[in-house]
Amino acid sequence: MTLTRVMAAMLLLGAQGALAQGTQPPAQIANHANGLAYQPTLGGVATREQSAGVRPNDRQLSQEDKELEQLNRQLLGPKAKPLMPTDHR
């Protein structure tokens, strides 16, 4: 029995030491890695779409905005707030 208690105490002390020596949390938590931002911005997406030749025209963008507003009202009902107007340029 004594040997079992000694072993258990050693294991607990070792576990506490390992936890105390854990790694520090990152200085910044975001969509950044290797100095690059991976979260696209609206302007960045628009630029990439335009350079790739797949940019929707203004009529299509307006239709998408209307659909998003409709979905917003359907999903949130009376709690729905108007979506921010999108600047697609």
> pLDDT for 29-54, tens place per residue?
667 777 777 788 888 888 999 999 99
> Do 31 and 37 contact (CB within 8 A), yes or no?
yes
d(CA 86, CA 84): 6
pTM over 0.75: no
Q: If pLDDT is split at 50, 70 and 90, which confidence band does 87 have?
A: low
